[in-house]
Structure 1
Amino acid sequence: MVSSGLSMLLTEDYRAVAGGALFLFLSVLMISVFTFVSIAVWTEARRKEREAYYKAESLRRIAEIPGEGGKYVIEMMREEERIRQERERSQRGKSREGFIVGGMVNIGIGVGLGIFLYSLGGHDSPYLVGAIMVFIGLPLLIYGLFMLPKPSDR
Structure 2
Amino acid sequence: MKHLQRIAEIRNQIERLKVEAEAIEPDAILEAFEIIESNKSRKNIVYNDDNAKIVIQLRTRYDDQNVSVVRLDEDISREYDKLCRSNAIPIENSQAYINDLKEMLAEAETKHETLLSSPYLEMLEKQRALALKKTEHKVPALAVYVHYLKR
- TM-score category, normalised to shorter length: under 0.3
Higher Rg of the two aligned structures: 2
- How high is the TM-score relative to the length of structure 1? 0.25
Greater RCO (Cα-Cα under 8 Å, separation 6 or more): 2
The structure richer in strand per residue is 2
The structure richer in helix per residue is 1
- How high is the TM-score relative to the length of structure 2? 0.25
